Structure 1
């Protein structure tokens, strides 16, 4: 099934799930993996999108599908639709660059499940009903991408409510993210052993506790990086990184560019 209008496109199908040709689309493309992992190739490296995760390609990102499991489900959102949503939400950065990472968020997962179920039940509905549904869905998705999609417009790493013990740890990490946390210290906050914490945290959040903390530090650093002239070394150390090298390394992994390049492209002078 393919539905499209001037604001975007929705595609759901169960065939042609193997390798495809290279693409470079002038839109944001959010790809879901509702059943199992899917895999995409980019010039910067392969992307594995695990079950219940999503990945957002930025406009003109070169990519090609290597493997989709059981179902291919994606939505394209035109930049103008995302800009309109950003303006209505009061977000300064109306041309966000989403990070080079697959992510999970229960709100987007619930939205995805609802849309898939609706389409399955109303596949033979009249074109006008499907177009109305697509219009509303694209508006909702644009807002959720800005709220929950990790990118250059964020001042914090997107989070969500989880099981009680994990929420306690996350609250503690947020309050003291500049501190040099160990897994033992995190486990003490959760009142469980470190192996239990590591397993439960990864299961709930999709990241290890330390990886989550590093991502939180990076996203907290984005505002001063983009909207002040503070030295990058100062920003890195102030936000809990042990060195500017570790900060640069993570930034390169998340955005495929250094903090200096990120600042030059997205900073306040632009």
Structure 2
């Protein structure tokens, strides 16, 4: 099924999953995996998502689908709609650059589940009710993307409610993210052995504990990058990175840009 209008497009289908052509769209594109692993290629590296995870392509990013499990679910949103949502939500950066990482959030999954269930019951293609449903769905997703899609508009990792043991660790990491942490120390806070802890953490959040910590450090550093003239080395060290090299490497993985390029692209405020 495909529903589309001037603000975007919603696609859900179970056939034609072998698409392997390069695409570059003028819109934001959220891809969600409801059943299992999906793989995509960009000119700067491959991306994959597992069950219940999503990622967001920014406009004008060349990409190609390599594989998808059982169902293709994606939503395209025009920048003008996301800009309007950002302005109404009081977000200063009206056209954010989303981090090109896979992520898991329960509220995004709940939204996708509702959309899938509704579309499986109602035939909306070409109808007035279908357009009304699409308009409201795109607005809802714009809000969810801005709240829970990691990107340049954030100074922290999106909030998520987890099991109590994991919440204890997240609180501790947020309070001392610029300090050294080992997996053993995190597991001790969670009162679990490190193997059980690592498995539960990845299941809840879609990333490993250390990856989450590094990404949290990166997002916390973005405010300094975009609002001060501090050196990149100073910002990296202040936020827990051991070297500017490791900071650069993570930035290139997440945004396909160095911190300096990210600063210029998103506009250092005077």
Q: Could you state the TM-score of these two structures normalised by the residue count of structure 1? A: 0.97
Q: Distance in 1 between matches of 2:16 and 2:71?
A: 9
Query: 1:269: Cα distance to partner?
Result: 4.4
List alignment gaps of at least 5 residues for structure 1: none
CA distance in 1, matches of 2:111, 2:68: 20
Match of 2:105 in 1: 105
1:1-270 equivalences under 5 Å are: 1-123=1-123, 127-269=127-269
The offset of 1:65, in angstroms, is 1.2
Deviations 1:212-264 (A, max 9, x none): 11110000000110111111111111111111111111111111111011001
Instruction: Kindly provide the CA deviation profile for residues 138-183 of structure 1, in whole angstroms up to 9, marking residues without a partner as x.
Output: 0000011011001111111113010010000000100111111111
Q: Provide Cα deviations, 1:60-108, integer angstroms capped at 9, x if missing partner.
A: 1111111121111111000000000000000000111111111111000
- Conserved 8 A contact 1:10-1:75: yes
Deviation at 1:205, TM superposition (A): 1.1
CA deviation after TM superposition for structure 1 residue 124, in Å: 5.2
CA contact (8 A) 1:225 1:267 kept: no
| Residue 125 of structure 1: how far off its partner (Å) | 7.3
Unaligned stretches of 5+ residues in structure 2: none
Q: SS of the residue aligned with 1:102? A: coil
CA RMSD, Structure 1 to Structure 2 (Å): 1.3
Matches of 1:254 and 1:246, distance apart in 2: 12
Alignment check: 8 A CA contact 1:29 1:56 kept: yes
- SS in structure 2 at match of 1:39: strand
Q: Distance in 2 between matches of 1:12 and 1:231?
A: 46
Q: CA deviation at 1:268?
A: 2.7
The 8 Å contact of residues 156 and 219 in structure 1, kept in 2 or not, is answered as yes
| Secondary structure in structure 2 of the residue aligned to 1:15 | coil
Offset at residue 133 of structure 1 (A): 0.7
Q: Distance in 2 between matches of 1:114 and 1:35?
A: 15
| Equivalent residues of 2:43, 2:62 under 8 A apart | yes
CA shift, 1:20, in A, is 2.5
Which deviates the most, 109-118 or 153-162?
Answer: 153-162
CA distance in 2, matches of 1:101, 1:122: 33
